[in-house]
Amino acid sequence: MFKDHTPQPKSGAVRRARKQRRAMSLPEVLLWQELRKRPRGLKFRRQHPADAYALDFYCLDARLAIEIDGQAHDFGERPSRDAMRDARLATSGIGTLRIPAKDLLRDLETALAGILVACVARLPLHHPAARGGPPLRDKLGEDLGD
C-alpha cells in the first residue's frame, strides 16, 4: 500500500464525513456494498475527508475519487463548484470519476466495471522500493544476506 498523500482534512471535515457515512444515499449504499468486497484487490474508503471535502469513495492506490452525482449537481452553480473541486484535487494528484446516480441505479454492474477500469488504469506499474532501496545483490543476482 502506498503512503497517503491525500490533502489533510480541514477543520470539521472529519466530523462531516462521519455524519455523511450514516446518511448515505441509496446509490451510494448499493455501490459501497460492492466496493467493500475489495474487487480486484483494491481497497476503497467511503466519505473520505480530504482538504475541505468528503469524497464519496476513494481508492488510495489509484489516487482516484469516485463521486456519485444526483440531480442537484446539474443545476445552479454546482457544476462550476464541482469543476473547481476536481481541479483542486488534481493539484494533489487525485483524479475524479463522476457517475450520475441514475446510471448507477440503472446498471450497477456496468458502473462498477467502469470504476475498476479507471482505477486499474491509474495504478502505477510497480510499487516504490522499500526505504533504503532494494537489497544488495551479487553478480548472479542473489541477495547478499546478512
Q: State pLDDT tens for residues 81-103.
A: 888 889 988 988 899 999 999 99
For the domain covering 13-122, report its CATH number. Answer: 3.40.960.10
CB atoms < 10 A from the CB of 32, how many? 18
Q: Domain residues of the chain, as ranges? A: 13-122
In the prediction, which pLDDT does 145 show? 57
The mean pLDDT of 33-57, rounded to a whole number, is: 89
Give the model's confidence band at 121: pLDDT under 50 very low, under 70 low, under 90 confident, else very high.
very high
d(CA 68, CA 46): 11
**pLDDT tens track for 48-91:** 888 777 889 999 899 999 999 876 655 667 788 888 889 988 98
